[in-house]
Structure 1
Amino acid sequence: MGHGVSGTYRRGVDPLSWATLVTEWTLAPLPLVVTVWSVGLYTLGVRSLHKRGDRWPVGRTIAWGAGMTAFYLATSSGVAAYDTVLLSVHMVQHMVLSMVVPLSLALGAPVTLALRTLPATPRRWLLAVLHSRLAKVLSFPPLAFLLYVISPWALYFTSWYDASLTNAYVHEMMHVHLVLVGALFFWPIVGVDPLPGRVSHPFRVLLTVLTLPFHAFLGVTIMGQTALIGGDHYPSLHDGPMGSWLPDPRADQELAGGILWGAGDLVGIIFFVILFVQWVRASMKEAEREDRRLDRLESQQAQRTPAE
């Protein structure tokens, strides 16, 4: 997604700045197609509900739009131009794709929207997928949690990341992987869609708290290790047209680890706040339902009691 991996090295890019994050923008085909179709179909669904007089929460639409905007910016803006030039920029992209995008899209509740607007046959297909054994396995919270915390270690401490720096296909699949694994973790926990992996709010909060130390530990490990992630890739860039402005690879790796640590904690706290608000709202709705049930029982009892 985005710039060709090797093309960036041959021509080089200007020193990183807020201006170059805009000027290095490209119309990458795959992110553009995915974004346009996702936003377009979601908009059609919302309009379909409004035409028949049903309401759709504005907050869900905003969340979906924010998630797709973050996805497109991370894969097509200047961030994508520098993601193989500076490990620190890649780490920003990593956090956006693995945390911000899945969290926002989950809050957009696209499955619920689809179930309310699709014709009968596609709706049955979607329900069959949701009730399939594969969906139940992939949305099993402990498994999703394990994949979510192990994936970054597998990415940065195996040959996978090295391959993504030289192979455009592997590079694109890495982006897809980050979004999918993040979605598997966030969707059953914070989303409002009827997925098979939904668990109680206390357990959701527990899983959220457990993710924070893993991001911090990985960030500190990256900051402290002597071996450079990517091997000779980043030092070799100093021999080309970008050598005059590129920072020391060791210092950039320390910055990348700090970004992973700090951004992980920040998004984790936001995630925790969202879960807490959802928990409070669910408790209030449950209390209202209980009050209505007690009122009905009291009314029925009064009707059965003979007047004195």
Structure 2
Amino acid sequence: MMLVLSSATGGVEDLPPFDAGALISQWGIAPLPLVVTVWATGLYVVGVLALRRRGDSWPVGRSIAWGVGMLAFYLATSSGLAAYDTVLLSAHMVQHMVLSMVVPLSLALGAPVTLALRTLPRRPRGWLLAVLHSRLAKVLGFPPLTFGLYVISPWALYFSGWYEASLRSTYVHEMMHVHLVVVGALFFWPIVGVDPLPGRVAHPFRVLLTVMTLPFHAFLGVTIMGQKTLLGGDWYPALHDGPLGAWLPDPFEDQRLAGGILWGAGDLVGVVFFVVLFAQWVRSSMKEAEREDRRLDRLERQERLAATEVTAPDRAPSE
């Protein structure tokens, strides 16, 4: 396996043509994503095992969702996709969608906050509860704010100097990855509603927020596809004029492909999320109906008992 040393400052080596094999052969060792993945996965597994040791259950689906999220995060930041994310705008756009949608949604479905509250010792659990009830958490969990950040930040990324700066600076590039994950988490976590976080709203509003994101992704994708100027300034033409030009596609064609990926992937993940929310809504409604049935049954039994006590004849004690 060939490990590629590529930096956002222009130190891109002579990469082979981008294909499925390159995703594996151009794998890189990125220390920070590796540490984050190992620790996050390990702590989650420790929590699940702690629950099982004391006889409590933990939904398998949540563990699978967490594993999918961490795997997607590591693939997006360490596989060949990361090696080409400053070479092909289309590769970057796949990475963008994975980090901003797939990773936050999967991790939110894993319910790590709930797992932590059920397994942490008393004092750390108190600290976590204090954070969850803090004013900052309430502000960051305010749905209109998180929705605005989620739909506006991609426009700010691609239609300002931010994206070109991320191509030329390793630090800005890595901070862009952090930004995509954090903003996606702020938006998805309260809407998924599995963890007890501030900002959780009723299921109809969750579905509405999800549906409202679809036109923004589509419009941004179409806008990028129709741009007459290149995102990133002269970065991609300069690469095309170098040794990679033997196989690199035309920058405008790659940009149109990137816009199509943003449009199609955004709608696809949005529809999947809509299905998840709808299933949660149905399940919640069924549980609420069951609770109401039990309440009515208890009320009916109490009324029958009261009626029996009122109508029962008084019996004098036998002499």
Same fold (TM over 0.5): yes
Paired with 1:7 and 1:55, the residues of 2 have a C-alpha distance of 50
**Taking every aligned residue pair, what percent have the same amino acid on both sides?**
76
String of CA shifts for 1:241-292, please: whole Å, max 9, x gaps.
Answer: 1110000000000000000000000000001000000000000000000000
Which residue number in structure 1 is paired with residue 9 of structure 2? 6
Q: Greater CA radius of gyration, 1 or 2? A: 2
Paired with 2:243 and 2:184, the residues of 1 have a C-alpha distance of 36
Paired with 1:181 and 1:130, the residues of 2 have a C-alpha distance of 17
String of CA shifts for 1:215-238, please: whole Å, max 9, x gaps.
Answer: 000000000010100000000001
Which residue number in structure 1 is paired with residue 25 of structure 2? 23
Task: Tell me which of 77, 81, 84 is aligned to 2:83.
Answer: 81
Count of residues in correspondence between the two structures: 306
RMSD: 1.0
The AA in structure 2 aligned to 1:265 is: D
The AA in structure 2 aligned to 1:215 is: H
Contact 2:93/2:258, CA 8 A, preserved across alignment:
yes
Calculate the TM-score normalised by the size of structure 2.
0.94
| 1:17 to partner: Cα distance | 1.0
Task: Tell me which of 214, 224, 230 is aligned to 1:222.
Answer: 224
Which residue number in structure 2 is paired with residue 183 of structure 1? 185
SS at match of 1:4: coil
Please identify runs of 4+ aligned residues in structure 1 that moved more than 4 A.
Answer: none
String of CA shifts for 1:111-168, please: whole Å, max 9, x gaps.
Answer: 0000000000000000000000000000100000000000000000000000000100
String of CA shifts for 1:153-200, please: whole Å, max 9, x gaps.
Answer: 000000000000010000000000000000000000014000110000
Task: Tell me which of 142, 146, 149 is aligned to 2:148.
Answer: 146
Which residue number in structure 2 is paired with residue 68 of structure 1? 70
| Residue 227 to residue 7, structure 1, CA distance change in 2 (3 Å) | closer
Calculate the TM-score normalised by the size of structure 1.
0.98
Structure 2: stretches of 5+ with no match in the other structure: 313-319
The AA in structure 1 aligned to 2:52 is: H
| 1:5 to partner: Cα distance | 2.0
String of CA shifts for 1:53-94, please: whole Å, max 9, x gaps.
Answer: 000000000000000000000000000000000000000000
Structure 1: stretches of 5+ with no match in the other structure: none
Higher RCO structure, 1 or 2 (CA under 8 Å, sep 6+):
1
Task: Tell me which of 282, 285, 289 is aligned to 2:284.
Answer: 282
Contact 1:205/1:272, CA 8 A, preserved across alignment:
yes
Paired with 1:113 and 1:284, the residues of 2 have a C-alpha distance of 24
The AA in structure 2 aligned to 1:151 is: S
SS at match of 1:5: coil
Which residue number in structure 2 is paired with residue 93 of structure 1? 95
Task: Tell me which of 175, 197, 221 is aligned to 1:195.
Answer: 197
